[in-house]
Structure formats: C-alpha cells, structure tokens
Amino acid sequence: MKNLGSQVENIWKNLRPVTKEIIVGALKKSSSVQKKIYDVHSDWELSRLLKALDDQLKKTDGKKLREIRKLADICADLLQSQTKSAEVFIQLVERALKQQDFAKVEALCQILNERFPVSEVCEIIRQTENPTIKALAYEALSLFPTSSLLSLINDPVYADIAKSALEIQAFDYDLEEAKEILSQIEGEMF
C-alpha cells in the first residue's frame, strides 16, 4: 500500500483487521470469508478506501495506475455485493456514471429492490443532487409494494417522496391501490 499514495496508505493502516481480511479474500477470490465478516463498519471503511483510491487515480499514471484501479474495482465490487447504505449506493453510481459503465449502473439499480429497505431508497433521493441517481431511485421506489410506500406517508421526512412514488404507481403503472391512496391523501388535505 505504500506505493499507492499517502492517503491510501493512511486509510489502509487504520482499517480493522476484519476489513483487511475481506479485501485480501477478494484479491484471492475467496467469497466465503467476505459474507461471514462483512458489517456496517466494513461498508464505511471500504467506502473511504474507495474514495481515496479514486482520488489517487486522478493523480497517478504508469504501472501504479493499474494496481490502484484493480484495488478500487475490488472495493467497489465488495461494496456492491454487500451494501445497504444510501451514501455508498450514491458513491458507486456516481463512480459508474463517470466511467460511463452503464451495465454497472443497471446492476447497482437491481440491488435497490432486492436488498435496500424502502426508507433507504428514500434516503438516496434525499441525499443526492444528481438527477440521474434521483430518477433511478424513484423508479426503484415505484416498484416497491404500495403498502410499503403508504407506511411512509405520515413520516415528515419521507412523505413527499412516498407521495411522488405513489403518483408514479398510479399514473405510470395504473395501479388502482395507489390511486385510492392518493385520493384519500388529497381528501384529508382539504
């Protein structure tokens, strides 16, 4: 790690042994270790390391560039395979968009409905300024069951987002249940 820049070296030094083991396991293509020991703290550490590696990529050329890119891609793949975090999702999609890797963007969008709770998808919408990511998150949100969106209607943080997703369900997907809920919401507002 010493050859990969001081920021990367400092982050690597401060990683927990568990997170280092996950990365080393990924380098050796050993996925059994990753799933057993991956946790939210690993998510945070890998995200920080990925950011430092991506920053270092901008400053590096030559042989080191290949090493940094390989390690950055491994961190991104680990995060993609495990994360349930809005912040990490945004980071990964922004990275894929910069690389114009639209297959990666599509793969990332798949995990929203498979792994993320509805509230975390709402968090993506709240936290990002990127209109593409916002649109992707709204699309994913509109595919959640209507009942899960209904549970957010009384939440002051997520109510507007949930209502927008219900409108997508009602008008774009012609879901009767979403139409009924919107009608009830509008009736209560007057």
Mean pLDDT of the 53-75 span: 90
28, exposed or middle or buried, with CB in 10 Å at 0-12, 13-18, 19+?
A: exposed
pLDDT tens for each residue of 111-122: 999 999 999 999
pLDDT at 34 over 70: no
Are the beta carbons of 176 and 156 closer than 8 angstroms? no
SS3 16: coil
Query: Can you tell me the mean pLDDT for 44-49?
Result: 97
b/e code 89-127 from CB counts within 10 Å (16+ = b): bbbbbbbbeeeeeeebbeebbebbeeebebbbbbbbbee
Q: Which of 4-8, 93-97, 178-182 has the lowest mean pLDDT?
A: 4-8
Q: What is the DSSP string of 104-140?
A: HHHHHHHHHHHH--HHHHHHHHHH---HHHHHHHHHH
Verdict on whether the full-model pTM lies above 0.95: no
Q: What is the pLDDT of residue 31?
A: 57
Range of weakest confidence among 23-37, 77-91, 100-114, 143-157: 23-37
Q: What is the mean pLDDT of residues 88-97?
A: 98
Q: Which of 148, 143, 135 is nearest to 169 (CA)?
A: 143
